Amino acid sequence: MYPLHKPVHPPNVITCFPLSHSRMHQYVIYNSQYQIIICRQHGYAIQSRNVIRHFREHHKIISWEIRQRIAEYVHGLITCQLERLETPDDGGEPIHGLTIIKGCQCVYEGCTEKGALTSIKRHCQGAHKWTEGDNAMWTNQAMQTFRQGPHRK
Ligand SMILES: [Zn+2]
Ligand SMILES: [Zn+2]
């Protein structure tokens, strides 16, 4: 039998791109599940409208030309409002590109509060009447956050 169609080689989109996707991904990663753009180096999500400014202010070492390419790349992506996102879903796969931080999870019954150690302590004091000197009522947990946390260096 003669195949109706020749085996399709996808058109090489990469060559029309001034920066290859793999090179682009050194700088930014698009996560289509959450519709977010992640800065590779910082490990957090950037609002699409802030991408240009972010790279201009924080990545001066990247040439203007590459920053333009990043802006063009990002321009064509569907992104969501970062403000609406909290933390990645529990139990999901870790999100490629986001920094993994050490955090804690409250272990009081029925409570799912998570956060950095200091905020979990504060939470336990406020919500569960925990006091310093009580046993720790949290477990260590690797976490990811979309945003740049206040504890982030
Ligand atoms: Zn960055
Ligand atoms: Zn709690």
Name the residue range of residue 76's domain: 13-84
Q: Which ligand is nearest to the CA of 53?
A: 1
Please tell me whether residues 78 and 22 are part of one structural domain: yes
Residues 28-56: tens digit of each pLDDT: 999 999 999 999 999 999 999 999 999 99
The pLDDT, as a whole number, for residue 58 is 95
Report yes or no on 7 lying in a domain: no
Please tell me whether residues 24 and 76 are part of one structural domain: yes
CA of 114 to the centre of ligand 2 (A): 8
> How many C-beta atoms lie closer than 10 Å to residue 108's C-beta?
14
What does pLDDT average to over the chain? 84
Report yes or no on 92 lying in a domain: no
CA of 148 to the centre of ligand 2 (A): 23
Which parts of the chain sit beneath pLDDT 50? 11-17, 150-153
Q: Which of 84, 109, 127 is the last residue of a domain?
A: 84
Q: What's the CA gap between 119 and 26, in Å, rounded?
A: 33
Please tell me whether residues 67 and 105 are part of one structural domain: no
Q: Looking at the 3D structure of the chain, how many domains does it have?
A: 2
Q: Which ligand is nearest to the CA of 57?
A: 1
Report yes or no on 116 lying in a domain: yes
Report yes or no on 5 lying in a domain: no
Measuring CA to CA, which residue among 79, 31, 32 is closest to residue 51? 79
